[in-house]
Structure 1
Amino acid sequence: MNVATYKTELDNSGGGLWPALLWSALLVVICGLIYPAVATVAGGLLFPQQARGSLVERDGKIVGSRLVAQPFADARYFQPRPSAAGYDPKALSGSNLASSNPALRERVTQDSAAVAAREGVAAESLPSDLVTTSGSGIDPHLSPAAAQVQVARVARARGLRADQVEALLHQHTQHRTLGVLGQPRVNVLELNLALDQLQR
């Protein structure tokens, strides 16, 4: 095949700039407009609660999300684990400090002393999730052991018996998913809202 014949076949093969541009525009419309629109509508219809961020409402007001930790300043509430992101869902992050880092050890030591004083227990007995941050920085869950440490303080601050608070804690303890995935956990927001409901 000589050069002239090759050029003629290439010109007739439909290759070139315009088909590439047309395919690019088509893919932009499909992947950038149609697919997101369909996914958004389908998600809203099939999973309306999750599509709205798993928001929790009480008395017509949004009080938080089941997926995002938030701080509770009042002693009447269970406290979540510390947040490296300042409980800001737009700034998800862990501390990114290695366990050998002196800064991390210093912070954990200080936090352990503060939490131990708040709960009236020895610092050595604290579950690790009361003084360490999660990978996301806004994990809404605590281990049952970390929640159990706070029962006496919450009961005292609310004028409740410890066994009443423990009963709510057990009711709001989620077990392993499908019996094997993850660890038992407690959603702090849901537990605190149940406490408020109990005292209405």
Structure 2
Amino acid sequence: MNNLMRKILLKRSVYSFSANLLREEDLMAILEEGKQLSNVVNNQAWHFTAIQNKVVMKKFAELNAYFAIKTGTDDRTISGRNISKIIDNISTLLVISGSGDIKYTEDAASTLFGSMMLAADSYGVKSCWLGTRESMLEENSEAISQLLQIPEEYTPLCVGGFGYPIDDTDVKVTYLDSVVKIIR
């Protein structure tokens, strides 16, 4: 199995990270690789906002309907984890914004983040994709853009987290023949 295929098969979202911020060289390498990827209309109309400030992350969470916890007993989850705790465990939150025809760039932003997840793995950085404009960013898009100082011509489209894992246990590949059906 080649290295890229192995990375793809073993890629898993991580929701618990060490408290260490990403090393500057790791963050810049991941962002640089992301900048090199183009969107579906091939105009590379991206703006990246990497947030490492916990106060700003909390304000982002408060503005975000998906993360906002209205009561202390909210039990909404992502992969069985309480979403109110996810932001606390991320060392770097990345918001990918796009310009132009949002119809195409919104899907491309999530694809881009997926590619950046694979790139991050090369540096020992793990990640989790958290959501899109529709599920997370649309409701308070203007306030989020102001908080994150996103240029006016860009729209927040995708958000995810990066960090160093607490436990780097190897993931076992499970082959399930029952999940594939070929109709000829």
Per the shorter chain, which TM-score range? Answer: under 0.3
Higher share in helix: 1
TM-score, normalisation: structure 1:
0.26
Structure number, greater radius of gyration = 1
Structure with more strand by fraction: 2
Structure with bigger RCO (C-alpha 8 Å, 6+ apart): 2
